Amino acid sequence: MLGVLVGLLARLRRGRHSAHRTRSGPLVAVLAVLGLVAALLGLPASQQPAAAAKKVTFTVALTNDADSFNPFLGIEAESYEMWALTYDYMIHYSMKDMSPRPGLATSWDTSSDGRTWTFHIRSGVKWSDGKPFTAADIAYTYNRILDGGPEAATWASYLTSVTKVTAPDARTVVLTLKKPNAVLPLLPIPIIPEHVWKNVSEKQVKSYSAEPKPGHPVVGEGPFRLVEGTAGGSTYRFEANKDYWGGAPHVDEVVFRVFKSNDPAVQALVKGEVDFVEDITPLQVKALQKHPGVTAINGDSPGFDEIAFNTGAVDTKTGKPLGDGNPALKDAKFRYALGFAIDRNLLIKKAYQGAGKPGTTIIPPAYSGYQWQPPADVAFRFDLKKAGELLDAAGYQKGSDGLRTMPDGSPMKPLRLYARSESKTSIDTLDFFKEWLGDIGVPAKVTAYEGNKLTNIILDGDFDAFQWGWYVEPDPDSMLSYMTCGQRGSWSDSWYCNPRYDALYRAQNAEMDQAKRTQDVKRMQEILYKDAPYLVTAYNTIGEAVRSDRFACLQPQPDPGGIWLEQYGAHNYLSVRPASQAGDCDGVATALKPVSSSTGAADGGSGTGLMVGGGVALVVVLAAGGWLALRRRATAADRA
């Protein structure tokens, strides 16, 4: 029976719910079959996977591949995760609240005017090929970014106003600024080896893979060495760097396996083929929480999901229009009106399966000190009548066919809504949005694309709207920078440009008075809210599960309540260890403790998940006359 179910699920894993099929009937059916499938898939202790071989391998299942191992090119969260294993950072993030703590720099000093920062670099650090690491490597990395080539696109915002980076000796790095930079000392820039990268010209950077060759791992100073894998591939293997300055990892290697969706990834966890799965649905979390030997959580995510619009793509060199975006979306009044045509509470209930909160602005509630709260007179609510009135006032009247026209009376082209094919939540969100748009006379069509292809479509300007999400760093500067005019054609995916917003961005970046800076940050959010290049839909959670009968000592970030992987830094890859060697997890009270394979999830898991539900890896429901496999929900980690 187990083989029949697995085969059926494998064939049906590409099936999905339509927006109409997420009503209460199918949900009840899901809950009704949990116990049945749990009984069929639950494995007794005698059938658990055999003991691990002598080499200790921690295998992580991903549902998205790394798009580049070159730390100046990648955009996917998986790439950032793997850079953190390969390379190190001058400044690390704390596990508790992601505040700055020592990394390659043991301490730092700031001049009274905020224009000189001196970092003191630890001694005894080596590159993985045995060559000594010095402050010159840090200066070399930062100066490549300051030169303004391809390296600047991702990392330049962290070095705003920095004019010079020097290494007066092997243990000292000095940053000279023309004006203060409020983001410092946070510098999440991977440090590359000068003796390797000096042979990579600026022209070559865009084609440099930074991938391993047989017998030649990638050279880094991080806790692991990349020994196998190519961008877009299905398997990536990292060997432990036993000479890492922070201490050798507790596992011999980390292997990432890429699955086409989280259904087969969860099944692989149950079968013991992988040890960890991320970005699983709330229903899968609930089901796995009592599966023998598995601990599953819904961890709070410091990010948001949004519907983004093409506000006017341009050729950044000539300023001429680029792509074929719908002209209605160039109008901020049109975009703002659509904000009242989204039932965010219903999206959380249906598309997010209850795991999340309605979204408002691009700064999530995890960073409440910076978050702007829209007043009642401008705040979005689900009000189709209000949306229609705003469209009428902006000149988008309904024609005799009930469809909106452009202000000049010409027909409005249907809005192309692009979802990510690997994300059920992305598809469901836009299915709902299409229905609501239809209710106010705005024609629309939903099409799903694989994430990497959608990225290219966005950069070409050949879209109207899409659904995606972001992680937001503890300091809001980088997220705010993505909405500036200068990021068009790079990190800006809405092609938004507002000089008034840009002026505030520059002001907050240099403002050392925290109260004044916070005020500017909130004013920026207000501008974005009313201009509506993004309609923020949700603040979501991330579902994760681990074979806690085999591995332990994962710590949430932020602690408590956060997530275990795709954090800021590589802490948990250093900390994770075989359950038999867990001890007290180095005294970390909130770390994941091991459980027996014959028992359910143990106490000590963090996050917001409820410790209830049946033990089942994949849930199938009978709805609308057919078997449908529940697929993954959206994630803000697909892009970092």
pLDDT at residue 6, rounded to an integer: 29
In whole angstroms, give the CA distance from residue 516 to residue 514.
5
Phi, psi of 195 (to 5 degrees): -70, -15
Residue 344 tokens, joined: 């965010």
Query: What interhelical angle do 2-12 and 24-41 show, nearest 10?
Result: 140
Residue 129 tokens, joined: 């090929």
**Mean pLDDT rounded to a whole number for the chain:** 86
Assess contact for 234 and 61: CB atoms under 8 A.
Answer: no
Q: Name 637's Cβ contacts closer than 8 Å, sequence gap at least 6.
A: 77, 78, 278, 279, 301, 303, 471, 542, 566
Phi, psi of 387 (to 5 degrees): -60, -45
pLDDT at residue 53, rounded to an integer: 54
Domains of the chain: 2-63+214-300+543-629 (3.40.190.10), 86-205 (3.90.76.10), 303-540 (3.10.105.10)
pLDDT at residue 28, rounded to an integer: 31
pLDDT at residue 365, rounded to an integer: 87
pLDDT at residue 616, rounded to an integer: 30
Show the low-confidence residues of the chain (pLDDT under 50). Answer: 1-52, 600-640
Assess contact for 489 and 326: CB atoms under 8 A.
Answer: no
pLDDT at residue 381, rounded to an integer: 98
In whole angstroms, give the CA distance from residue 45 to residue 31.
25
Taking only the tens place, the pLDDT of each residue in 141-168 is 999 999 999 999 889 989 989 999 999 9
pLDDT at residue 154, rounded to an integer: 87
Query: What interhelical angle do 262-271 and 2-12 show, nearest 10?
Result: 160
The closest of 245, 152, 134, 119 to 195, measured between CA atoms, is 134
First to last CA, the chain: 41
Q: Name 58's Cβ contacts closer than 8 Å, sequence gap at least 6.
A: 251, 253, 254, 255, 275, 276, 551, 573, 576
Q: Are strands 465-471 and 415-420 parallel, antiparallel or unpaired?
A: parallel
pLDDT at residue 368, rounded to an integer: 86
Phi, psi of 202 (to 5 degrees): -60, -35
Phi, psi of 521 (to 5 degrees): -60, -40
In whole angstroms, give the CA distance from residue 119 to residue 400.
68
In whole angstroms, give the CA distance from residue 282 to residue 285.
5
- Counting Cβ atoms within 10 Å, is residue 146 exposed (0-12), middle (13-18) or buried (19+)? middle
